[in-house]
Amino acid sequence: MKFKRHIKVEQGLGQINMAPLIDVIFQLLIFFMLSSSFTFQSGINVKLPKAVTSDVVKDESFIITITSEDVLYLNSSLVTIKELNAALERLSDKKRPVMIKADRRASMGRIVDVWDLCRKYGVERINIATNRDKQ
């Protein structure tokens, strides 16, 4: 038994039109370029407590950040309490102020631990960061 092959090539299907394909590729490229430029850099999310009597401090050199999960950062790099201990021990200029930025939900025990470390190594000026409360 012999089957006949009926192959008919239509005139329009013999060629692929590239213009719509290129348009779609360019639209996808523009979409990804625009959407990637609006992504935010991840930072340390800290909600500072509010205070009526807060002052502006301009000359901090060391910033210790305590998040709500009691994670420590020294100048925006993640550290443990032992690494912070070693960094404060190496601190040569004890007259430089230290700024403690603690989240309002951070445990008081962790804040006191950091404060005690600073006092242990002779840091003379320790500041607590707050937001000004408007009344």
What values do phi and psi take at 108, rounded to 5? Answer: -65, -30
For the chain, domain boundaries: 50-132
| pLDDT tens profile 67-119 | 988 899 988 889 998 998 888 888 766 677 888 888 888 888 998 999 898 88
- Token pair 């009926």 in the structure block, residue: 6
| pLDDT tens profile 9-40 | 555 556 778 888 999 999 999 988 887 766 55
Whether the Cβ atoms of residue 75 and residue 62 lie closer than 8 Å to each other: yes
Which has the higher per-residue pLDDT, 43 or 118? 118
Name the H helices within the chain. 19-37, 81-90, 108-120
- With a threshold of 0.85, does the pTM exceed it? no
Whether the Cβ atoms of residue 59 and residue 97 lie closer than 8 Å to each other: yes
Entry field: residues in the chain:
135
- CATH number for the domain running over 50-132: 3.30.420.270
